[in-house]
Each structure stands twice: as C-alpha cells, then as structure tokens.
Amino acid sequence: MKKQKNTINPTNPNQKRDKSSWFFILFAVLFAAVVANVLFSRGGGEMFNKSGTPVVSKPLELSFSDVLRRSGDIKTMSIRDKNATGELKDGTKYNAVITYNPELLEKFSQSGAEVSIDTSKSWVDYLGTWVPIVMGLFFIWWIFRGMRGGAGGISRTLMGQNPTKIVTGKPKTTFKDVAGIDSEKQELMEIVDFLKNKNKFQAVGARVPRGVLLAGEPGTGKTLLARALAGEANVPFFAASGSDFSGIIVGLGVAKIKEIFEMAKRNAPCLLFIDEIDAIGQRRSQNSFNDQDREQTLNQLLIEMDGFSNETGIIVIGATNRPDMLDPALLRPGRFDRQVHIDLPDMAGRKEILELHAKKIKLNESVNLGDVARGTTGFSGADLENLLNESALHAVRMGHKMVQQDDIEEARDKVLMGPKKVRKMRPQDIKTTAYHEAGHAFVSTIYADVTDPIHKATIIPRGRALGMVQHLPIDDKVSMSIAEVRANLSIALAGRAAEEVFFGRDKVTTGAESDINMATRLARRSITTAGLSDRVGIVAINQVQSFGTRVPLETASEKTAELVDAEIKSWLDTAYRDAVKLLTKNKKTVEKLAEELLRRETLTGEEIMEIVAGKKQKVVKNNTDKKSTKKNKKGINNV
C-alpha cells in the first residue's frame, strides 16, 4: 500500500476558500466606504449652489470672526452642520465654518441675508451610520455560524490553517530498521500480533493494551519505533504531535482531539501516534488558571482514550522524554496500559546500531566498529548516526575515498569535546598541558587492572579543553567497586598533582577545574547514595527521584551534611596524595611521556604502555612532526 498524507478537513477546502474570498471582498468594500465617509465628511469637496450647478470659481474662505464682522455684506447663507456656504452682496461666493446658534441666525436675517438650513442626509451619511451596524451583525453571524458547525465550531475553520498530518497505509520503516533495543521491540511485538491475529487473543479473554507510552532519553528511537510498529502491523497509521493540539484560540485543541479520534474510529483497527505528548498531557494543578485550555484538551484526550466507548479499536502510542510531567490520570491502566522505557543502548546495542547505519556509507576494511562501540558509552542511536555522518564528512574533507578509522576517531573527538582550536599559546602553557595529561596517562597505567584501559592522550585543544586522556571500557558496567572509585579519583586528580610535582606548588594552574568537578561528584555520589563510606555509613542521603533527578542532602541534618562534606574532602585529599606519591617515584617516566606528547601531540594507548614499560620508541620522521615542534617552540599549538 502506498504511503499517503492527508489532513483533517471535513469540508471541501476549495469551497471554504471561495467563501473566505467573498468575506474578504465584502470587508474590503465596507472598509472603503468608511474611508470615503471620513474623507467626504471633512469637506474640501466640490461645492454646489441651490440649483445644483457646481461652482467653478474658487470660493472665498471666511473664518467665523470674518462672518460676524461682515454680517451686513452677506446676501445668502446655506448651513449644513457646521459648514456654511453662500454669496456676498457683491456676488462673491464664500465658504465658512460657523457655530450653530439661533440668535446668530436671527441677526443674519435682520441684516437682510437669506438663511437656509439643510437637514437632509446624503448617501455618505447613511453609509457612515449603517456600516458599523452591518459589520457588527455580520461578525456575530459568523461566530454563531461557527458554533453551529459541530465539533470545534469556529476552531474548525482555524484548523485548516494548521492541519494535523496523518500518515495512512504501511510506512516503509519496519523492525528491521530498528537496532539496539531488542527488549523494547519484543514489548511491541505483542501489539502487532494482536492486530494481525485478533481472534487468538479474544479466545483466551485477553485484552490488547489501549495505549503504549514510549519514554526515554532524546534520540533513543521512540518515533522510529512507532513508525516501525505501524509498518509491521500494516494498519492505518495516524501521526500527530502534542503541539498540534495547542493554539491561541480557546477550544482549538479540543476540536482537534475530537477530529483525529473520529477519523481514527472510521479506520479502526488502527494506530494513533502522538509525539511529545507532554505538550498536552502535563500534570493538572489547582492553581493553573492560565492553562484552562490545555487542561480542557487533556480532559478531552482522557475521555477519548477511555470514556464510555471502550472498544474503539484504536491503540494510542505516546512518546515523551519527560514522563514525570504527565498527569496520573493519563498513565493509569485503561489509557496507557503499558509503559516502555527506552534506555541508552549498551555496547552490543551500539555495535548493532553502528552496523545498521554503516550500510549507507563506505567503510574501510580496517574500521573496527566494536572499538567504536566501546568508545561511545552514553551515545544514543541518533548520536551514533551523527557520528558516522561526521566521519563521512571528515573523509570527504581529507580526500579519502572510504571512511577510515582515523576519520571516526576525529569525528568522535569532535562530538565529545568540540572541533579543534587553533590557539596562540605560550610555550609554558603548552608544557604545563603536556605534563598535566602525562600525569593522567601514567596513573591510568598504574591502575590498568582496576579501571578501563587507556585509549589515547592528546594535547590538541578542543572546545574548552586544552588536552584530554580517553579510556575505552572493555564491557558495559552497571556498578563500581570502592577500589575502582578510589582509582578513578586518583586518575582524575593526577593532572593537578603532576603540575605540583614538576613545577612547584606556586605554579599550579586552573586547568584542573573539570577534573576536580568530576572527582567531587563521584565522591559525593559514592558516599551519599552508595553507602561506601565507613564514617557516614550505609544510608541514602540523596533521595533519588524519578528518572535520575536528585535533591542534595534532602534527608540530612546539619551535622550529617558537615560530616558528608568532611568525608568528601578526606577522600579527595587521599586520592591527591596517592597521585603525588606515584608521580614523584616515577618522575623520569612521566617526563618521557610529557616529552613525547610535546613532540607528537597525540599518543595511543599502546604507545603509552610501551613508554611506561621502558621500551624504545620509533622515531617518526615526517614533515608534520617537524613543523609541529617548530610551531610549538614559537608558542602556537599545531592542530
């Protein structure tokens, strides 16, 4: 079946467009009439005498004081509102603006003037009187006409300006296009089986879930999974987003909810997908006076999902990355019966995702996607797809015909740390950075049997970082031992320790800011939530809220908070002393590491282990290294 796109529009759009054009024409005519009334009422038009013959000569303009002073010279005077026209005794025509006063008119009559008052109304006067009335009546009729139009009333007309996109038929996406989330796919396969073999479930008395909520981090594949579900089930698929049901007009969201569910009922059984459902499904409160329209939209959604008509044949699929914001009435069984939380992919899942997206690009045979999966911990499916795309872009930029491992490494560093920075740095700053990263790298080799193996060290600045040391995990970890925690603390503080050991206490820099921050967070989490401190004990001080949000020291007294702060400082001081001790005993080895970083800028994990083991390094003779060394001596970091 061919994929089609329609919009919710119960009436003929061409007919509606014709009616709207007539309305605009009518409004334009009325507006032009009002403008003409204003212009003619101001005077300045052509003047007429009693016989209706236009006056060709330009009349004399008199002020009110001139009229009073020359009252004896006036032969005729015709008054209309405040405008007076007439003829003087010498035959001169005149125009004047006067103030209507019966005594004044009597004075003119006594002077021999013929005074007449014109009380008739022209078509312009009638137009200025009736146009506002007609426009008001027309506007009231338009409102009542919309209210009689059924669901949504006037909002139905406005919906045509913001239609809800609907996809019907079988989308091309299937479960074969979804990788790395096998357990989540299994949850949804039951719905596909029900839509294809409904009698098998009804024979047992089972009821298919009326709604499935897909929750997870951004980029984990919630929308992709919903499209794949529709493709597998081969049923009509209706797609909308939460923002489609909100607008500036009250009642627009309710009208759209009714409309899309009415169309879904006519095509049941079917799937109705609402992306970012938290836009209309936020938790209701007693003080939300400004969100009454949103709450009415939510109420209508609740009624449609589980009202008096239960067996509608509609399965609602909702997607959000903020399920903690949703109203409890929306999450209860009978509406969203099943909640599927999509986690970030593990190492095996990341490899599957990389293999899926790698089919679209040309990879060199030397590329090891397993190593790429190891080095992308915490990446979502969208991040991995972007990583391969950045790799392909870098390959084109470098003139490669196929994507190589170096292209992927560069793309990963760019995604994690930012693009390379060309900075003018003092020689002392470059040297300090080299010893700082050498300290991290050396202590990492000491604790290689406890922590993740080191992957590389570099002093090429990226983003805000002047250098970095990367580790690649062997496998996915769900927990850390206390020995591993203490080892990671020493590795994190080894950069600051190297600065003190080789340059003195007075020469340490602010470059360890992120290291100290990371070490402090690791120590606090280990002490307050994991119960790894003997002094604090096995007690949870930070209460873990839903989906990882934390409230610092929520259940701690002031005395306990002071104890926690003291214990965190004790752990960090111990780790720092351990790093200083290791670096002091092995100063020559660390110096070799730093000198190699200054010469080559980047060292792999194997090269670092060979230097620590005392093996001779191969002298790399190339123009790039010579230029790099010369530029570094001038204080410019080659990137």
Cα dihedral 345, 348, 350, 356 sign: negative
> Residues in the chain with pLDDT < 50?
1-18, 20, 41-56, 149-155, 157-159, 161-164, 544-548, 619-639
According to the model, what pLDDT value does residue 39 have?
A: 53
The answer on 192 and 319 residing in a single domain is yes
Q: Name the domain count of the chain.
A: 5
According to the model, what pLDDT value does residue 166 have?
A: 53
Which tokens go with 30? 């009325």
The answer on 487 and 552 residing in a single domain is yes
Q: Does a structural domain hold residue 639? A: no
Is 339:326 a contact under the CB 8 Å cutoff? Answer: no
The answer on 468 and 580 residing in a single domain is yes
DSSP 30-96: HHHHHHHHHHHHT--S--B-TT-PBP-SPPEEE-HHHHHHTGGGEEEEEEETTEEEEEETTS-EEEE
Length of the chain in terms of residues written: 639
State the chain's mean pLDDT as an integer: 77
d(CA 603, CA 609): 10
- At which of 362, 394, 416 does a domain end? 416
Q: Does a structural domain hold residue 638? A: no
The answer on 278 and 218 residing in a single domain is yes
- At which of 416, 441, 468 does a domain end? 416
The answer on 251 and 188 residing in a single domain is yes
The answer on 388 and 368 residing in a single domain is yes
The answer on 176 and 269 residing in a single domain is yes
The answer on 462 and 601 residing in a single domain is yes
Q: Is 437 a residue of the active site?
A: yes
According to the model, what pLDDT value does residue 170 have?
A: 59
The answer on 508 and 409 residing in a single domain is no
- At which of 307, 323, 342 does a domain end? 342
According to the model, what pLDDT value does residue 151 have?
A: 41
The answer on 472 and 455 residing in a single domain is yes
DSSP 372-401: HHHT-TT--HHHHHHHHHHHHHHHHHHT-S
The answer on 627 and 584 residing in a single domain is yes
**CATH code of the domain covering residue 50:** 3.30.720.210
d(CA 224, CA 424): 45
Q: Does a structural domain hold residue 422? A: no
Q: Does a structural domain hold residue 421? A: no
Q: Does a structural domain hold residue 153? A: no
**CATH code of the domain covering residue 385:** 1.10.8.60
The answer on 170 and 90 residing in a single domain is no
**CATH code of the domain covering residue 502:** 1.20.58.760
Owning domain of residue 548: 427-633
pTM: predicted TM-score of the whole model, two decimal places:
0.65
**CATH code of the domain covering residue 277:** 3.40.50.300
According to the model, what pLDDT value does residue 251 have?
A: 66
The residue annotated as part of the active site, out of 232, 352, 437, 607, is 437
